[in-house]
Structure formats: structure tokens, C-alpha cells
């Protein structure tokens, strides 16, 4: 996800050991004052009791019944392999999968404001200079979309924007074509045929999931 610690620690260890690795970057992190929703959720869970967060989420959903809920069945098993409490997994499942991307972004931003979470950390993400240094020192930069949404929850047009913009931005920074792509969240059903078609169009050679086991559900 392009965290600064990957440059400060991981990259330097790899370089010292003369090893290469692939770093998958959501290109939006290169914009000033950007904080991805996926990381806002992490901060909320780390700082606020989960029962309070679930109550706040429920109240926000009640106030606006027009929130577009996605197909529950696609993601009912998400986070089941995590060690987190079931309530934490439910909170993450709603905000990452069940509620449409734009609505979820707004809800998470409201939760950040309600709970007075300070995200003014200018060094949380990699910058362009970091990426170029890594790319020039045997590290491979791959795309992870632009803003890290669940791609299968987007229509073709919005998926195209996410995939094409990320490839364009990262290529401008590194001067190299994006041959590698990792699906945001990386589990089954987070991408679809639209996604694969678009990746083929821009010449991506290898795409990756991030599941931590081999599923028996083919």
C-alpha cells in the first residue's frame, strides 16, 4: 500500500542483502494530504472501542437510507482467517465490501471527524523520490489501483479510471511500464472480467491476489 516504512526499513534491508521485491502502490498516495480509506479504518479500530464504532456506523446508516449496499454473499467470508474480534471483522466488512465505495469513503471520513482522529502525518506514505530511488535500485514497482477500492464493486468506466490512471501516474514517476498489478484487498470476488479485460488492455503481464491460503472453493 505504499507505506513510508517500506522505504525506511524493508527496501534498505533488501538492498543490503542484494535482493529484489515487488512493491504495489495505490497511486493516489502521491497526492498531497491523501489518506486512503483502508488506513483510516485501521486508525479508527486502533484508537476507538469497536462497540462505539459499530454504534456510530449504525447511526450514520440510519440517517441516510440511500446508502448503496453491495451483494453481501460475495464477501461474507472475508476476514474469517483473521485473528481480529468478530465485531472488528464485521466493521471492516461493512466499510470495505458491503457499502459502495463513494458512500463508504464519506462515512469513514465522518467517523474520523466524529472521533477526532488526527491524520496529519506527512510521512505516512512513500513519495515520488522514494519510488524512483527504489525503482532505480532493482525494486519492482507495480500498480495497486489509484485509490484502493474493491474493483468488482465498480462499473467498467470507474474500473478503467482506477486502473489506467494508476498505471499512468506510476509510469511517469518511474519511467517504466507497469507490468505487475495486485488487486486491492486481494481476495476472491474483488475483481471480475472487466478488471481482467482492462489489465490486458494496458499490457499488465502478471496480476496477484493476496489470500493467505489455497482455497478449496474453485
Closest CA to 134 of 9, 2, 7: 7
The β-bridge partners of 142 are 24
In a 10 Å sphere around its CB, with 0-12 CB exposed, 13-18 middle and 19+ buried, how is residue 167 labelled? buried
Phi, psi of 118 (to 5 degrees): -90, 115
- Grid cell of 3 as nine digits: 507505506
Cα gap 207→84, rounded to integer Å: 28
Give the global pTM. Answer: 0.83
Per-residue pLDDT of the chain (218 residues; tens, 9 = 90+): 999 999 999 999 999 999 999 999 999 999 988 899 999 999 999 999 999 999 999 999 887 654 455 555 555 555 544 555 788 988 998 898 888 888 899 999 999 999 998 887 668 999 999 999 999 999 999 999 999 999 998 999 999 999 999 999 999 999 999 999 999 988 878 899 999 999 999 999 999 988 665 544 43
Amino acid at each position: 500500500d505504499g507505506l513510508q516504512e517500506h522505504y525506511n526499513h524493508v527496501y534498505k534491508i533488501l538492498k543490503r542483502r542484494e535482493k529484489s521485491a515487488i512493491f504495489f502502490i495505490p497511486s493516489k498516495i502521491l497526492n498531497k494530504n491523501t489518506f486512503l480509506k483502508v488506513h483510516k479504518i485501521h486508525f479508527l479500530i486502533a484508537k476507538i472501542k469497536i462497540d462505539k464504532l459499530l454504534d456510530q456506523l449504525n447511526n450514520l446508516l440510519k440517517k441516510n437510507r440511500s446508502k448503496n449496499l453491495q451483494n453481501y454473499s460475495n464477501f461474507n467470508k472475508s476476514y474469517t482467517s483473521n485473528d481480529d474480534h468478530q465485531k472488528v471483522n464485521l466493521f471492516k466488512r461493512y466499510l470495505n465490501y458491503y457499502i459502495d465505495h463513494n458512500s463508504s469513503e464519506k462515512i469513514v471520513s465522518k467517523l474520523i471527524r466524529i472521533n477526532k482522529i488526527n491524520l496529519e502525518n506527512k510521512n505516512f506514505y512513500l513519495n515520488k523520490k522514494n519510488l524512483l530511488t527504489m525503482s532505480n535500485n532493482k525494486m519492482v514497482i507495480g500498480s495497486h489501483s489509484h485509490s484502493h477500492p474493491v474493483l468488482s464493486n465498480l462499473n467498467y468506466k470507474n474500473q478503467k479510471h482506477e486502473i489506467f490512471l494508476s498505471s499512468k501516474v506510476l509510469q511517469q514517476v518511474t519511467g517504466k511500464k507497469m507490468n505487475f498489478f495486485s488487486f486491492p484487498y486481494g481476495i476472491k470476488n474483488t475483481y471480475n472480467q472487466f478488471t481482467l479485460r482492462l489489465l490486458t488492455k494496458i499490457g499488465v503481464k502478471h496480476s496477484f491476489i493476496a489470500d493467505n491460503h489455497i482455497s478449496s472453493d474453485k
